[in-house]
Amino acid sequence: MESILDLKGHVGLVTGAGQGVGRQIALHFAAHNAGGVVVNDFFKDRAEEVAREIRELGGKALALACDVTDYDAVAAMTREAQAHFGKIDILVNNAGNAGPTQGLSDIKPFWETGPEEWKNWLGTNLYGVLNCARASVPGMMERKYGRIITIISDAGRVGEPHLAVYSGAKAGAAGFMRGLAKAVGRANVTANCIALAGVNTPGVAGLVPDDDTMKKILRTYIIRRMGEPSDVANMALFLASDAASWITGQTYPVNGGYSVSN
């Protein structure tokens, strides 16, 4: 019996896939009959390592490095991916934080920041999504098939006091995806978001100093554990598959119950 999560040879491009959630999404796609996976990361060596993992599992992968905030670089990456695999059917906008070097540990109160710091958060989390969608959507529209998945944060749904600009950028990405869903739906292209709470990734490692602090944090979660990259990858695989062909314009929290909605 055919799995409803079989990707049927569709080709996926995952940004920020050199580690953490993006890496696991890329591996999930490869394990479920993707026709190929384009592994994007700012750092070429990280992308190459994940592409090697996929090939060792019997999948097809292409490692391409670029900064998603640079539209020309994104367009060039997309052209190279399409030349290699012939198409891009699934786009996962996973690249996040404030770029490749600034993590969540570098944050300051909003009133101590300025436009240069805002640019970093907005660039990766909002403009990066716009750039990748702009480069990939025309081919999807032409072929009358596409899946666009953007990884946002619960910060974009409920707000985080120490991450005000990040919250705004993620909320903006979610709003863009809702508008895009309405624009491309008649061409059989869907657009959805996945909203995350705390996930065990290299970017989060080291932010929690001790077990007592972790216990306090987990009191805010209904399911009292941190998320794992596979929790997110499971939802991404579902949204990329034909099992989700009648779902678009939605945001799915994968958050252990950190926040709940009606």
pLDDT tens across 205-245, in order? 566 667 777 787 788 888 988 889 999 999 999 999 999 99
Mapped onto helix, strand or coil, the DSSP state of residue 221 is coil
pLDDT value for 257: 87
pLDDT value for 102: 62
pLDDT digits (tens, 9 = 90+) for 41-67: 999 999 999 999 999 999 999 999 999
pTM listed for this prediction? 0.94
pLDDT value for 132: 98
pLDDT digits (tens, 9 = 90+) for 11-37: 999 999 999 999 999 999 999 999 999
Alpha-carbon span 27 to 52, nearest angstrom: 11
* Active-site option among 166, 221, 252, 258: 166
38 and 22 Cβ atoms separated by less than 8 Å: no
Q: How many CB atoms lie within 10 A of CB 57?
A: 11
Q: How many CB atoms lie within 10 A of CB 224?
A: 13
Q: Taking residues 76-105, what's their average pLDDT?
A: 88
Side-by-side strand order, sheet with 189-196: 61-65, 36-41, 11-14, 90-93, 146-153, 189-196, 251-254
Q: State the amino acid at position 258 in one-letter form.
A: Y
Banded pLDDT at 84 (limits 50, 70, 90):
very high
Closest by CA to 146, choosing from 177, 171, 172, 123, is 177
Per-domain boundaries in the chain: 11-253
Q: Where are the alpha helices (DSSP H) in 57-163?
A: 71-85, 115-122, 128-143, 155-158
Mapped onto helix, strand or coil, the DSSP state of residue 31 is helix
Q: Pick 158 or 142 by higher pLDDT.
A: 142
pLDDT digits (tens, 9 = 90+) for 166-203: 999 999 999 999 999 999 999 999 999 999 998 888 76
Alpha-carbon span 55 to 44, nearest angstrom: 16
Banded pLDDT at 262 (limits 50, 70, 90):
low
Q: Taking residues 143-168, what's their average pLDDT?
A: 94
Residue 95 has pLDDT above 90, yes or no: yes
**Spelled out in words, what is the top-level CATH class assigned to the domain 11-253?**
alpha beta
Please indicate whether residue 252 is annotated as part of the active site.
no
Banded pLDDT at 106 (limits 50, 70, 90):
low
